[in-house]
Structure 1
Amino acid sequence: MFQDYLFFGVDTKVHYSYRMLHLSHLVEEAKQLHNLNTNRALLLSDALLGSVLLSSILDYEERVNLRFHCNGDFTIGTETSFQAETRGYIECNENSEVVKQLDLGNNIIPEFQVRSMRSQRKKPNLFEGLTSTKANSLEKALNEHLAASYQMNTVLKISSWIDSVSGKLNAFGVIYQELPDIPEEVSIKLKKHIDSLPSMKELFLLDNDADVLSKKLIPDITKAVKSINPKFVCSCSQERVENVIVTLPLSELSDILNKAEDLEMKCHYCNKNYIVSMQTITQIYASRNQVNSTNSNEMN
């Protein structure tokens, strides 16, 4: 099968833009990396589709971080850069009835809470959006989040499924965004077209040629802007892990020191293990304690 792609396009009169995303190789990689069963992998796949599509319409953002919470049953986390470098994970409460039913293939998800955090390039600004929905699919939850959090009309359609021949995970989706001053008749035409589309799985299985898919997704003549290849990339490092330790309260650092053992931490996104030595933790504690003592003396 052809490689993953994120295709950027716009109608020739520049009334709206769209992004078409094939992500099958990346989501299969994530499934294998996290050793996920089929149903958990499908959920993570939908979340990664949404994350890459969302990042693609935000021209000035460095990265988009999404969290999907289902009460205390499970959490899905994703992060995608403007270059479509993405990563994701899913954590489940194994004792949850929702998770047990999910693993059986039964969708009884009661609600989603969707949280998005966007950081701008070369700026400290952080934009955050939070929505709750009774929708039992990530596509519906994301569309409600987009409607509540973004000024321009934006809608996405996503599908994740298992290929009947290869047994591999497949993922395909599209996101549309109306541009400023779009004529009302064009907006209505676009909405009717989107509503008339079958699922992305059905569309993809009919003909997965990118040119054919692009023409079916859009009701007007369009032009290409660019295309990039998404990649599963994790930004974790030893330095980042130690920076997390620096932010811990002194009481927690003290508890870690009392155990007299090197601290082992695992990255949620890529499962890589990091070891922070007792010597490093002792140095961090001593430095933090000295700063606190100095600040206290200055206040007195």
Structure 2
Amino acid sequence: MPVSDYRDYLVRIISRSGSFRALACVTTELVREGCRRHETSPTASAALGRALTGGVLMGALLKTGQRVGLKFEGNGPIRKILVEAESNGAVRGYVGEPAVDLPLRNGKLDVAGALGRAGFLTVTRDLRMKEPYHGTVQLYSSEIAEDLAYYLTDSEQVPSAVGLGVYLGTDGSVAAAGGFLIQALPPQDEAAIDRLMERIAELPPLSELLLRGETPELLLERLFEGIPCDTLEKRAVAFACSCSREKIERVLISLGREELTSLLETQGEAEVTCEFCRERYHFERAELERLLAELP
């Protein structure tokens, strides 16, 4: 579907010198949908929104048909954030404790306090090979954006800058969300890197820019002013889950004959809820009997 049919989309550019590649996206609707499905508190909404947006950016680095998983695990009350993103712009995710809410810290939502200062970020890349690639680093600041930048720079050896913003209205609803990712490619232009870092440091709060209607194109123009760049693509992005009734049936079958029989005898029915999207799948007795009959 054309990008114009979506409010949420991503733009990818590359500098004509080949020294930088950058992505920027607006994710307001998809973050709003994820938070609605999980009934998140304001603090949890900010945490999930940043992680979902980060997933969109990380997924856009992949080749067609690949996917990436992000798992933030900390010692804070929210416990964990899991996100899965496809190369086609589809993203899904959830937080461990969606009701957790903390007082503001220096006038801002305390995402780092909710996730916890100590913990790990694990990135799993499914490149459609025999085994997925796993990379793990300690949480750098627990602010999500800085953790992703640290992972890309430290683990994948690609100097990166990441900015993520989620603006919540006075009623706790998601008013704006989006982000950017910039990577320096060899041969590195140190002077241009310094210029970009200065501009990122001088950037107004990203969430406020997004609230004022800053588009991905305008954000990239602001950051790369004076650096000739070409636009490679514009891509629609959306909150979308890969779960289905058929997949849930396979999960029930994987329980095995003994456990499925016990479920049938004790409850007579089953309801399975997808962790990522909260979609509920109900199975009547006749459906469970059919699945049981399919077992060898």
TM-score by length of 2: 0.81
Match of 1:15 among 15, 19, 23: 19
3-state SS in 2 of match to 1:195: helix
Report the CA distance between 1:255 and its aligned residue.
4.9
Native 8 Å contact 2:24 2:181 kept in 1: yes
Q: Larger radius of gyration, structure 1 or 2?
A: 1
Q: Which residue of 2 aligns with 1:261?
A: 268
Q: Which residue of 2 aligns with 1:296?
A: none
Q: Give the partner amino acid of 2:125.
A: R
Structure 1: distance between partners of 2:26 and 2:88? 15
Report the CA distance between 1:260 and its aligned residue.
4.8
Structure 2: distance between partners of 1:213 and 1:106? 25
Report the CA distance between 1:238 and its aligned residue.
1.8
Match of 1:42 among 36, 41, 46: 46
Structure 2: distance between partners of 1:257 and 1:164? 47
Match of 2:10 among 6, 11, 23: 6
Q: Which residue of 2 aligns with 1:85?
A: 90
Relative to structure 1, the CA distance from residue 61 to residue 238 in structure 2 (aligned partners, 3 Å threshold; closer, same or farther) is closer
The answer as to 2:143 corresponding to 1:142 is no
The answer as to 2:159 corresponding to 1:159 is no
Structure 2: distance between partners of 1:221 and 1:269? 40
Question: Aligned runs of 1:88-107 on 2, under 5 Å?
Answer: 88-92=93-97, 99-101=100-102, 106=110
Q: Give the partner amino acid of 1:141.
A: D
Report the CA distance between 1:245 and its aligned residue.
3.1
| Structure 2 alignment gaps of length 5 or more | 1-5
Report the CA distance between 1:12 and its aligned residue.
1.8
Q: Which residue of 2 aligns with 1:125?
A: 131
Structure 2: distance between partners of 1:43 and 1:102? 14
Aligned-pair RMSD on alpha carbons? 3.0
Relative to structure 1, the CA distance from residue 163 to residue 221 in structure 2 (aligned partners, 3 Å threshold; closer, same or farther) is farther
Relative to structure 1, the CA distance from residue 265 to residue 194 in structure 2 (aligned partners, 3 Å threshold; closer, same or farther) is same
Report the CA distance between 1:169 and its aligned residue.
2.8
Relative to structure 1, the CA distance from residue 209 to residue 20 in structure 2 (aligned partners, 3 Å threshold; closer, same or farther) is closer
The answer as to 2:62 corresponding to 1:58 is yes
Report the CA distance between 1:146 and its aligned residue.
2.1
Cα distance per residue 1:129-149 (max 9 Å; x no partner): 122226231122222222332
* Structure with more helix by fraction: 1
Q: Which residue of 1 aligns with 2:244?
A: 237
Report the CA distance between 1:53 and its aligned residue.
0.7
Report the CA distance between 1:185 and its aligned residue.
3.3
The answer as to 2:180 corresponding to 1:179 is no
Number of residue pairs matched? Answer: 280
3-state SS in 1 of match to 2:165: strand
Q: Give the partner amino acid of 1:160.
A: V
TM-score by length of 1: 0.80
Q: Give the partner amino acid of 2:102.
A: Q
Match of 2:28 among 19, 24, 27: 24
Q: Give the partner amino acid of 1:179.
A: L
Native 8 Å contact 1:55 1:61 kept in 2: no
